[in-house]
Structure 1
Amino acid sequence: MSQEKNSILHHLAELRDTFLRCLVTVLVLFLALVYFSNDIYTIVAQPLLNVLPEGASMIATNVAAPLLTPIKLTFFAAMFLAVPYLLMQVWKFVAPGLYKHERRLVFPLLFGSIILFYAGVAFAYFVLFPIAFSFFTAIAPEGVTIATDIGSYLSFVLGLFFAFGVAFQIPILTLILCWTGVTTAQRLREKRAYVIVAVFVIGMMLTPPDLISQTLLALPMWALFEIGLLASRFYVKKEQLDSTEVLSH
């Protein structure tokens, strides 16, 4: 009983140290970036600024918004840049509890998850924003002056960054479901029609209420599902071979 208690306390201490390292990393990045907070906001706002009508600009409806909004964005930027380190800390915490063949399979998933998260954010910034903002500004009624509040814009883009970053995890989710035996690639192929409907529903839930954003999220999700479906056959097959080797030894 004493050994079990000591083990629990040891794991809690490790968890605390992991959390503190992650927190310090984010704070250090934030302090390094905060001087450039206005420049960072300008970069994030560029897709909208590029399509605003001549003479139009963004506005701040809150007195403190010109100061606090860029700083808020800088904090999220620090977290964004720290994602690889944060996930590696999580990996170091959970890896000792995994079998060798499980570690060989989980680490590529973790690495792939990081890449896909960044890919989702990049897709939103470089593909979705220019198309969506051009559409929004083009359909504005005559006589309406487009002057987006900087705080509202930040909330809008952060929501889409998160939505696309999470949505691009679909191949990882597909591989995990097949690897753990929850389902198989064949079963998922048979339910493809339901998946297509589901990705469009998710697109409606995660994006603003406009058809362009919803479609530009749903189509990549569908494509990523197909990629995950294709990869899962080889991934599961390799996992089964590894398990066989472990049992034979």
Structure 2
Amino acid sequence: MLQRFLRNRSSNPDAEMPFVDHLEALRWHIIRSALAILVLAVVVFSFHNWVFAKVIAGPVNPDFISYRMFCKLSQITHIKSLCMTPVRVEMQSTTFGGQFLGTFTIAFVGAFIAAFPYIFWEFWKFTKPALKDGELKNTRFAIFWVSFFFFLGAAFGYFVLAPFTFNFLAGFQISSDLSIMVTHPTLHDYLSNLTDIILGCGVAFELPVMAYILTRVGIITPKFLTSKRRYAVVILLIIAAFITPSPDWISQMIVFIPLMTLYEIGVAVSKRAAKNMVEKEKEEWS
């Protein structure tokens, strides 16, 4: 179907794929993506003991590399609050199938993260025929940059945000009369929080890519992003203040700087996209 459509497109640039063919093509892209996730999920499931001990439980492991690095940074900067005391956690399962279902969650979330470049490649193959030659030139290396920012965000969430978040939540109390059994959280609760952090950061770090796309379709402009920079600074500072375990400004900056850098990259990308659009319009008029 796709090959037939491309042949028609070469002879007739205005040719369109029938709606039923669109659905059929989408179905196969989804099936191949699901198979990739399934295969990788089986691999992760086969090594679930190692994955849980070395990867999943990392942010609450006293030997986690992030704790050591922050303690070294604390010695260099003489900011004691950067050296966090790791939360000692002994997770529990409150249902018979809790550990089994938790292993499935680990397998499929891990498989989705590992297969993300391939999944996006399948999505790209589905949307590519709808783009014209001029539009394709502006989407070179799209798979690389989308995957790069996703993995960068996931790594930031895992190595930086997760340790800060779990330490903050473990030490937070709404009242001295209340206590939380942080030493024995449920497996489901821990996996849910860790998954939200990693995938959330992975999506959040797509901000430069989204800035490019939204600028191309005319929803935002570089002027809009520049004029709202002061509001972005305040919002990101508030987010950093909530995330970090102490009111120390150094620890807040560790979270704030990457987020603000992403915003500035988004502004630069938006300016580049707007400039390309203006140059293209000039070429069409000339």
Q: TM-score, normalised by structure 2?
A: 0.71
Instruction: Name the CA shift for 1:135/1:116 in 2 (closer, same or farther; >3 Å).
Output: same
C-alpha separation in 1, matches of 2:111 and 2:118: 11
> 1:24 is matched with which residue: 35, 50, 70?
35
Higher relative helix content: 1
1:94 pairs with 2:127: yes
Task: List gaps (5 residues or longer) in structure 2.
Answer: 1-14, 63-85, 246-251
Instruction: Name the CA shift for 1:145/1:158 in 2 (closer, same or farther; >3 Å).
Output: closer
CA contact (8 A) 1:26 1:79 kept: yes
Tell me which moved more, 216-225 or 10-19: 216-225
Alignment RMSD (CA, Å):
3.1
| Residue correspondence of structure 1 range 90-239 to structure 2 within 5 A | 90-137=123-170, 146-199=183-236, 203=239, 210-212=242-244, 219-239=257-277
Q: TM-score, normalised by structure 1?
A: 0.81
C-alpha separation in 2, matches of 1:217 and 1:166: 16
Instruction: Name the CA shift for 1:232/1:185 in 2 (closer, same or farther; >3 Å).
Output: same
**2:101: which partner in 1?**
68
- Give the fraction of aligned pairs with identical amino acids, expressed as a percent: 27
**1:82: which partner in 2?**
115
The amino acid of 1:28's aligned partner reads V
1:241 pairs with 2:279: yes
CA contact (8 A) 1:174 1:225 kept: no
Aligned length: 237
Instruction: Name the CA shift for 1:90/1:143 in 2 (closer, same or farther; >3 Å).
Output: closer
C-alpha separation in 2, matches of 1:239 and 1:111: 22
CA contact (8 A) 2:44 2:111 kept: yes
CA contact (8 A) 1:38 1:70 kept: no
- Per-residue CA deviation, residues 135-155 of structure 1 (Å, 9 max, x unaligned), is 455668899662222111000
CA contact (8 A) 1:37 1:71 kept: no
Tell me which moved more, 117-126 or 36-45: 36-45
